[in-house]
Chains A and B, each alone.
Chain A
Amino acid sequence: MQNYDLATGSLRELNETLHAQNHNTNQTAWEIENPKGAHAIACGLDAPIEVTVKGSTGYYSAGMNQQATVNITGSAGPGVAENMMSGKVVIDGDASQYAGATGHGGLLVIKGNASSRCGISMKGINIVVHGSIGHMSAFMAQSGNLVVCGDAGDALGDSCYEARLFVRGSVKSLGADCEQKEMRAEHLEILKALLAESESDAKPEEFKRYGSARNLYNFNIDNAY
């Protein structure tokens, strides 16, 4: 176990050290102390390592992640796991706005609540939120799965493309061109696997599925101003 204390070391040195790891590294487990809300902690990792951040982080933690598993034991600030490509990011507390934005792959697990714009423009990432999410979540979501065990705020899935949105609780309102969809066997399979991997005890049958009504795919003169 490698240990790095941000109370004494610099953030830049920490990130450079983590970036220096490659797929052959034998330093596979890292623990970061005293994050104290600093920005861009464990950002841009690209190695199969496990990083535990002991506390709460500020903007853009674990952004652009590839391969690595990052666990934040507190809460995360805006833009956590933004543009993730692969790997896994787990937040034990809450996440601020635009968690998992534009992510292409990997799994983001938020064990508390996520605020507004969770999964905005997601492009293949899987996001599982044990609690609830705020307004404008999955705005222009293109692909991937967003699973919400609690409730969703206003304008869920506005102008979304082919992402699958699963919500167990209530949806305050659906965004433009987002509708409830039929839950088929293949969706229950996807949910079952994601819930298991993110350590949620929710049952796939308790969820409803939402997605694009595909009315905005083609230009319609009646929508022009």
Chain B
Amino acid sequence: MCGIVGLFLKDKSMEPELGALLTDMLITMTDRGPDSAGIAIYGSEVPDNAKLTVQSDTPETDFLDLKSELEKAIQGGLKIRVQSTHAVLEIQADQMSKARIALKSIRPNIRVMSTGESLEIYKEVGLPKDVASRFNLKNMSGSHGIGHTRMATESAVTTMGAHPFNTGIDQCLVHNGSLSNHNSLRRKLRRDGVHIETENDTEVGAAYITWKMQQGSSLGEALESSLDDLDGFFTFVVGTKDGFGVVRDPIACKPAVMAETDQYVAFGSEYRALVNLPSIGNAKIWEPEPATVYFWKH
């Protein structure tokens, strides 16, 4: 199963409500995916800074003195914002790669959830309502966001198996379905030097899209070619710094409903997820076509 929700705001005045609206949508999708949940949120950017969102299973020790130790290692300043098991590090953009290398040696158990100028990814195992309250998702603001509730079928219930997956700077992907050629594709991508951490099928899908874009494809082209190269069932929702996209496999048995008004574009695995959005009664509501890439941009 799995549930997907997404909300892309056209009306800037709604941005402070993004977290609250997405949280409500996410919790409605609990019975499609009660074992893990996650959210990717595109919030405010700080000029010249990039965000590194990291996770630790032992945040009380890993995040203690992390700021000062990392500052010392990169010989530069940074800001840290701890949110339960996650921390968002704001680092000068040109020091990001240095910081990632340093982080590996000073905190080997820390895992990177996302990198980007505006993207932050929060995900954990547990009921969506617990995950949402752990990270205080309802108070987050932003221009767009994507959420996922997971019912694991292809790999273990772990934080790293939860969605969204970071596919590149400010890019993320969530998936409902199951890929059947993920083992062979993982081997092929690994041979090409792509780092894939888990046995999860979606991580392979995410790595595939990152890889295609490194080869020069646009996101739209990468999604188009996923229709040829990925075998199995999928409804993907992807996020970029200024956009939001949807693609379904040609069989399209994984459900998807979209709604659009002057204020927003919303995605839900089911209509239930959309019913509390403002003016939903007047929204244009439709089912995205199979094997068709949809994309909205600010």
Q: What is A's interface to B at a CB cutoff of 8 Å?
A: 36-38, 56, 58-59, 75, 77-78, 94, 96-97, 115-116, 134-136
> Is the beta-carbon distance between B255 and A78 smaller than 8 angstroms?
yes
- A58 x B253 contact (CB < 8 A): no
Q: Are B285 and A75 in contact (CB under 8 A)?
A: yes
Interface pairs (19), CB distance under 8 Å: A36-B272, A37-B271, A37-B273, A56-B271, A58-B271, A77-B255, A77-B270, A78-B255, A94-B286, A97-B252, A97-B287, A115-B252, A115-B287, A116-B252, A116-B253, A134-B252, A135-B252, A135-B290, A136-B251
B214-272: which have CB < 8 Å to A?
A: 251-253, 255, 257, 270-272
Q: Which one of A38, A94, A96, A116 lies within 8 Å of B272 (CB-CB)?
A: A38
Alpha-carbon distance A128/B257, docked complex (angstroms): 23
* Contact assessment for B285 and A37 in the assembled complex, using a CB-CB cutoff below 8 Å: no
Q: Given the complex of chains A and B, what is the CA–CA distance between A36 and B275 in angstroms?
A: 6
- Nearest-CB residue, chain A, relative to B271: A37
The CA of A58 and the CA of B275, in the complex, are separated in Å by 11
Residues of A within 8 A of B275 (CB): 36-37
Partner of B253, one of A37, A56, A97: A97
* B274 cross-chain contacts in A, Cβ below 8 A: 37
Q: How far is the CA of A116 from the CA of B292 in the complex (A)?
A: 14
Residues A75 and B271 in contact, CB atoms below 8 Å apart: yes
What residues of A have a CB within 8 angstroms of the CB of B290 in the complex? Answer: 116, 134-135
Q: Which residues of A contact B287 (CB under 8 A)?
A: 94, 96-97, 115
**A96–B252 CB distance below 8 A:** no
How many angstroms between the C-alpha atoms of A36 and B255 in the bound complex?
17
A58 CB contact (under 8 Å) in B251, B252, B270, B289: B270
Q: How many of chain B's residues have a CB under 8 angstroms from any CB in A?
A: 16
**Residue on B nearest A95 in the bound complex, by CB:** B287
A37 touches B272 (CB 8 A): yes
Nearest chain A CB to B79 CB, angstrom units: 41
Closest CB in chain A relative to B289 CB, distance in Å: 8
Q: Mark B277-290, 1 if CB is under 8 A from A, else 0.
A: 00000000111011
Cα A209 to Cα B274 with chains together (Å): 39
Q: Which residues of B contact A58 (CB under 8 A)?
A: 270-272
Among residues of A, the one whose C-beta sits closest to the C-beta of B285 is A75
Known contacts A134-B252, A134-B289; can you find 8 more A-B pairs with CB under 8 A?
A37-B271, A37-B273, A37-B274, A75-B271, A94-B285, A134-B290, A135-B290, A136-B251
| Cα of A97 to Cα of B287 in the assembled complex, Å | 9
In angstroms, Cα B270 to Cα A59, docked, is: 9
In the docked arrangement, what's the CA distance between A48 and B272, Å?
29
In whole angstroms, what is the CA distance A66 to B272 when docked?
26
Q: How far is the CB of B275 from chain A (nearest CB, A)?
A: 4
Q: Chain B nearest CB: distance from A71 CB in Å?
A: 18
In the complex, residue of chain B having the shortest beta-carbon distance to the beta carbon of A117: B253
Known contacts A96-B287, A135-B290; A77/B271 CB under 8 A: yes
Q: How far is the CA of A115 from the CA of B258 in the complex (A)?
A: 14
- Smallest CB–CB gap between B5 and chain A, Å? 13
Q: Nearest chain B CB to A72's CB is how many angstroms away?
A: 12
A96 and B285 CA atoms in complex are apart in Å by 12
Bound: A116/B291 CA distance, A: 13
Bound form: Cα–Cα A115–B270 in Å = 14
Name the A residues within 8 Å of B286 (CB-CB).
94
Inter-chain CA distance A135–B291, complex, in Å, is 11
User: What distance in Å separates the Cβ of A176 from its nearest Cβ neighbour in chain B?
Assistant: 16
Task: Give Cα A75–Cα B220 distance, bound, in whole angstroms.
Answer: 30
Nearest-CB distance from B210 to chain A (Å)?
A: 30
- Least Cβ distance of A198 to chain B in Å? 22
Give the shortest distance, in Å, between A148 (CB) and chain B (any CB): 17
Query: What's the least CB distance linking B261 to chain A, in Å?
Result: 16
State in angstroms the CA–CA spacing of A187 and B257 once bound together: 36
Least Cβ–Cβ distance between A134 and chain B, in angstroms = 8
| B253 neighbours in A (Cβ, 8 Å) | 97, 116
Complex: A77 Cα to B32 Cα, angstroms = 15
Q: For A38, list chain B residues within 8 Å (CB).
A: 272
A135 to B275, CA, bound (A): 27
B255 with A37: CB separation less than 8 A:
no
Residues in B whose Cβ lies below 8 Å from that of A135: 252, 290
Question: B257 CB to closest chain A CB, in angstroms?
Answer: 8
Question: Ordered nearest first, which 6 A-B pairs have the shortest CB separation?
Answer: A37-B272, A37-B271, A36-B275, A115-B287, A56-B271, A58-B272
- Chain A min CB distance to B278 (Å): 15
Residues of B within 8 A of A94 (CB): 285-287
Assembly CA distance A36 to B287 (angstroms):
17
Closest to A38 in B: B272
- Picked from B255, B270, B285, the residue with its CB within 8 Å of the CB of A97 is B255
